[in-house]
């Protein structure tokens, strides 16, 4: 077979657009079918994934064939996360305007490392920074870095904390590293998210040398057990426990801690957005007292994936950590994006975030969050009526459910996961198995909840 002229082929594809029309058609079919398909791919669809196990092609293929394979073998094996009945982990749905904006930005293929490389993304990052401070009621001047998710955002926030706490002790961690450095104390709830422990390990703060504080029955850090902290202490709190959705008592905890110059980081991956809800913002009272925060766009805000944000009260602390330099250096008169994140080249994530916030506005974000919380409350009521035990106080979007016995819980979970009607994950609560429902998509309707409750009820009988 004669080797095709790859450059001529790509020029043709850009000119005639049929490849993009095809992609659009596949995407539209996917969107239209989402409500009717099994929420989790069946065994046949997963078996079919073995079609991808082929040798690397020797020569260029037709673009249409590449897309067809993705559509035929890939799409059926996707998890129907953008429908209304996926409640696994804390995975958000997607706001249509944000998805469409992302398609446009994909055509732009911008690299926002520096303002000069992409003025438009540089500008959108600045606007989002300002809007986030406003919406989340954070201190004016708080800096934002746009990263892949909360895991990285937490890593960045804790790196800023580590640098600042050591700088106060006359130790430049960027230059000298941690060997021989003065010790800093790290205090974390035993129920912190696994990504927090990972970040601490990556930063050389030692997963085993940190002080773990027990949580109360609702999954909040037990404030009475937090020791008196000083200027060499880092305290990590949580807005939204992954099991119960509970928020730590920020106002009560942060006041004394801040007076002593300790650094407080809040992991608010999915919970921080509650600040937009007038009905429920009381849950996050006092978050503005922290020094740094991590939050995800791709969870309860429903941006497309790859949208985490680190927020830091003092821009210099974040920039010093991310540039691994001792001081705030500047490449230009503009806000250079790469000063705020670990990466240089990356995707123009701020476009998705900007489109979501510009589209929803303040009241739209509030309506999204409130609807998720209302659906969670509906779940709890209806499941209780069917004899299930609700293990948490359902104030936010998480519902923790158990059957009458551990084995009934396990059987119900297995039945739900096999049902195709909805999908929930399992967890452990107080040593017993539990089913975790996370209502994190705008697309979940009251009817979706009713249909899902039916799947639960079928599992219990």
User: Is 240 near ligand PLP (CB under 6 A)?
Assistant: yes
Residues 81-100 as x/- pattern, contact with ligand PLP by CB under 6 A: ---------x----------
Minimum distance from CB of 438 to ligand PLP (Å)?
9
Which of 239, 422 has the CB closer to ligand PLP? 239
State which residue, 246 or 455, has the beta carbon closest to ligand PLP: 246
User: Under the criterion CB under 6 A, does residue 308 sit at the interface with ligand PLP?
Assistant: yes
CB of 240 to ligand PLP, least distance (A): 6
* Closest CB to ligand PLP among residues 173, 439: 439
Q: Can you read off the two tokens belonging to residue 300?
A: 């309860």
Interacting stretch for ligand PLP, rule CB under 6 A, among 143-151, 202-210, 337-345, 369-377?
143-151
Q: 125, 248, 267, 291: which one contacts ligand PLP (CB under 6 A)?
A: 267
Minimum distance, C-beta of residue 286 to ligand PLP, in the bound complex (Å): 17
x/- binding map, residues 99-138, to ligand PLP, per CB under 6 A? ----------------------------------------
Residue ranges in 183-222 that form contacts with ligand PLP under rule CB under 6 A: 193, 195
Angle at 425 between CA 421 and CA 426, to 5 degrees: 130
Here the tokens at position 344 are 């240089």
Of these, 164, 296, 336, 448, which contacts ligand PLP (CB under 6 A)? 296
Residue number closest to ligand PLP, CB atom: 149
Q: Least distance (Å) from ligand PLP to the CB of residue 339?
A: 22
| Cβ closest to ligand PLP, residue 166 vs residue 199 | 199
For position 248 contacting ligand PLP by CB under 6 A, the verdict is no
HEC string for the chain: CCCCCHHHHHHHHHHHCHHHHHHHHHHHHHHHHCCCCCCCCCHHHHHHHHHHCCCCCCCCCCHHHHHHHHHHHHHHHCCCCCCCCECCCCCCCCCHHHHHHHHHHHHHCCCCCCCCCCHHHHHHHHHHHHHHHHHHCCCCCCEEEEECCHHHHHHHHHHHHHHHHHHHCCCCHHHHCCCCCCCCEEEEECCCCHHHHHHHHHCCCCCCCCEEECECCCCCECHHHCCCCCCCEEEEEEECCCCCCCECCHHHHHHHHHHCCCEEEEECCCCHHHHHCCCCHHHHCCHHHCCEEEEECCCCCCCCCCCEEEEECCHHHHHHHHCCCCCCCCCCCCCCHHHHCCCCCCCCHHHHHHHHHHHHHHHHHHHHHHHHHHHHHHHHHHHHHCCCEECCCCCCCEEEEECCCHHHHHHHHHHHHHHCCCECEEEEECCEEEEEEECCCCCCCHHHHHHHHHHHHHHHC
Using an 8 Å Cβ cutoff, are 237 and 248 in contact?
A: yes
34, 184, 242, 341: which one binds ligand PLP (CB under 6 A): 242
Task: Tell me how far, at minimum, the Cβ of 399 lies from ligand PLP, in Å.
Answer: 15
Asked if 302 interacts with ligand PLP (CB under 6 A), we say no
Number of chain residues interacting with ligand PLP (CB under 6 A):
13
For the CB of residue 154, give the shortest distance to ligand PLP in the complex, in Å.
Answer: 6
CB of 195 to ligand PLP, least distance (A): 4
Kindly state whether residue 270 participates in binding ligand PLP, applying the rule CB under 6 A: yes
Least spacing, CB of residue 267 vs ligand PLP, in Å: 5
Site for ligand PLP in 144-183 (CB under 6 A): 149-151
Residue numbers at the binding site for ligand PLP (CB under 6 A): 90, 149-151, 193, 195, 240, 242, 267, 269-270, 296, 308
């Amino acid at each position: 077979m004669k080797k095709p002229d790859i450059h001529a082929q790509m020029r043709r594809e850009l000119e005639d657009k049929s490849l993009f029309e095809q992609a659009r058609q596949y995407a539209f079919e996917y969107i239209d079918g989402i409500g009717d398909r099994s929420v989790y791919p069946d065994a046949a669809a997963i078996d079919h994934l073995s079609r991808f196990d082929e040798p690397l092609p020797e020569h260029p293929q037709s673009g249409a064939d590449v897309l067809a394979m993705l559509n035929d073998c890939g799409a059926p094996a996707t998890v129907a996360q953008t429908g209304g009945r996926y409640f696994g982990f804390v995975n958000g749905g997607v706001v249509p305007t944000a998805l469409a904006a992302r398609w446009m930005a994909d055509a732009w293929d911008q690299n926002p490392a520096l303002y000069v490389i992409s003025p438009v993304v540089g500008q959108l990052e600045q606007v989002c920074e300002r809007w986030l401070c406003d919406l989340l009621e954070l201190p004016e001047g708080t800096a934002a870095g746009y990263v892949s998710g909360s895991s990285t955002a937490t890593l960045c926030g804790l790196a800023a904390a580590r640098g600042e706490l050591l700088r106060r002790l006359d130790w430049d961690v960027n230059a000298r590293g941690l060997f021989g450095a003065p010790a800093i104390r790290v205090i974390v709830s035993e129920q912190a998210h696994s990504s927090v422990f990972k970040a601490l390990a990556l930063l050389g703060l030692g997963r085993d040398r940190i002080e773990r504080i027990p949580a109360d029955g609702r999954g909040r850090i037990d404030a009475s057990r937090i020791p008196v902290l000083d200027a060499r202490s880092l305290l990590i709190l949580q807005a939204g426990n992954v099991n119960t959705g509970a928020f730590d008592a920020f106002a009560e905890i942060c006041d004394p801690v801040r007076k002593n110059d300790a650094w407080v980081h809040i992991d608010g991956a999915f919970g921080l957005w509650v600040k937009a809800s007038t009905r429920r913002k009381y849950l996050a009272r006092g978050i503005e007292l922290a020094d740094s925060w991590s939050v995800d766009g791709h969870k309860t805000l429903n941006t497309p994936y790859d949208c985490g944000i680190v927020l830091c009260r003092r821009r210099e602390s974040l920039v010093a950590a991310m540039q691994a330099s001792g001081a705030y250096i500047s490449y230009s008169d503009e806000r250079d994006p790469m000063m705020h994140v670990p990466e240089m080249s990356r995707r123009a994530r701020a476009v998705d975030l900007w489109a979501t916030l510009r589209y929803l506005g303040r009241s739209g974000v509030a309506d999204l969050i409130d609807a998720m919380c209302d659906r969670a409350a509906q779940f709890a009521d209806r499941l209780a009526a069917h004899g299930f035990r609700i293990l948490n106080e359902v104030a936010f979007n998480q519902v923790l459910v158990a059957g009458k016995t551990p084995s009934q819980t396990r059987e119900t979970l297995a039945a739900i996961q096999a049902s195709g009607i909805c999908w929930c994950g399992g967890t452990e609560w107080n040593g017993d198995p539990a089913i975790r429902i996370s209502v994190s998509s705008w697309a979940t309707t009251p009817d979706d909840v009713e249909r899902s409750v039916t799947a639960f009820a079928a599992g219990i009988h």
